[in-house]
Structure 1
Amino acid sequence: MLMDTQIPASLPDWIREHIELYQRDPEAGHYWDASLGGGEGMLTTLLLTTTGRKSGKALTLPLIYRPTGDGGYCVIASKGGAPAHPAWYLNLESNPEVEVQVASDHFKARARDAEGEERERLWQMMVDYYAPYTDYQAKTERQIPVVVLERI
């Protein structure tokens, strides 16, 4: 079972509602209507729980993902193309040990950045799945991280 986590009131309503749906009904929460973010269709999401680098508290967020093909999962630290990395990604830099929920499958994982050819391959796979990532990258000078979550 995943660590005890609270849904921060500071999150936008649609994100809080998605987390609540995922926790209540993992099969329904596994999918997200990408038209809400400028994409198309129903996309698969996972719940990523990190440990806050400052607070030490569990932080859970839904993220679009794709399987990497070797048992891992790929997520993108885009923050919509904001100039700074998302807080969850900064948490991974401090502690790469995370908890993940994919539909009703809960497990511990280790996060790492994809680099080189692997990064390019996974980035293209994610852009093919959710085209707005291209726009997000164009909006920022930082290279948006491609994160691999490997079950441990």
Structure 2
Amino acid sequence: MPAPTDTHSDATAARFPAKARRLVCRIGASGLFLRAAAPWLPVCDLAAHRLTGGRWLPSQLVLPTVLLTTTGRHSGRPRAVPVCAHPLPGGGWLVAATNFGRPHHPAWSTNLLHHAHAHLTWNDRRHPVTARLLDPEEQQTVWPTLLALLPVYGDYAARAAHREIRVFRLDPGRRDGHVPEE
């Protein structure tokens, strides 16, 4: 995977200006959004992704969104889900398993705990990645970066206060070369 650089992070910030992020955060924190839209956004993203041959996720219009394909914990089958991801200078990505502040962890995060190898689709390219759950100290260090990307994460964390928000670092590559198929 081409390593995201500081320039890439700057380009991401330019592509998703503060005004647009504030609007997304205002809408994303509303109760109506959480009840009505949150369950359907990933479904719409996946449908559009399939219809366009993997070239487009509607969420990419307002957020830095990638398609993460994990291996199902029980089924062993590939499971694709759109997630908001923050590119790291020098390579890799940060993803937070907020699940819109719902009471349970998203399935993709549990899948990563059981099968750390996955792939990420970004800029029409699939990249093998290895996930690592950040420890609490690391999470405290990166949380301000994630809040700068999407301040609504603070609202989601408050709603999900009874559970720890899992934060993963997705690093490029994989030792054994296996990548789950979609």
**TM-score of the two chains, using structure 1 as the length reference:** 0.78
Q: What is the Cα deviation at residue 122 of structure 1?
A: 2.3
d(CA) in 2 for partners of 1:55, 1:27: 27
SS in 2 for 1:112: strand
Matched position secondary structure for 1:118: helix
C-alpha RMSD of matched pairs (Å): 2.1
Cα 1:134–1:26 change in 2 (3 A) is: same
Deviations along 1:104-131, one digit per CA (max 9) or x if unpaired, are 1211110011235532232211111111
Structure 1 match to 2:105:
85
Equivalent-residue separation in structure 2 for 1:95 and 1:71 (angstroms): 21
Structure 1 59/129 Cα, relative in aligned 2: closer, same or farther at 3 Å?
A: same
* 2:92 equivalent in structure 1: 72
Judged with a 3 Å threshold, the aligned counterparts in structure 2 of structure 1 residues 102 and 89 are, in CA distance, closer, same or farther, namely: same
Partner of 2:134: 114
Superposition map of 1:53-68 within 5 A:
53-68=73-88
**1:17 offset after TM fit, Å?**
2.1
Distance 1:127 1:26, change over 3 A: farther
- Specify which structure has the higher proportion of strand: 1
What letter corresponds to residue 57 of structure 2 in structure 1? G
Runs of 5+ consecutive residues of structure 2 not aligned to the other structure: 1-37, 174-182
User: What is aligned with 1:146?
Assistant: 167
**Structure 1 unaligned residues grouped into runs of 5+:** 1-10, 34-41
- In 2, distance between residues paired with 1:12 and 1:142? 20
Matched pairs, number: 134
TM value normalised by structure 2: 0.66
Deviations 1:61-120 (A, max 9, x none): 000111121200111101122222111111111110101101212111100112355322
Give the drift of 1:137. 0.7
SS of alignment partner, residue 60 of structure 2: strand
1:58 CA drift (Å): 0.9
The secondary structure found in structure 1 opposite 2:63 is strand
CA drift of 1:139 comes to 1.1
Query: What's the secondary structure of 2:80's corresponding residue?
Result: strand
Which structure has the larger Rg? Answer: 2
Contact 1:50 1:98 in 2 (8 A): yes
Matches of residues 1-152 of structure 1 in structure 2 within 5 Å? Answer: 12-23=39-50, 24=52, 26=54, 28-29=56-57, 31-33=59-61, 42-140=62-160, 141-152=162-173
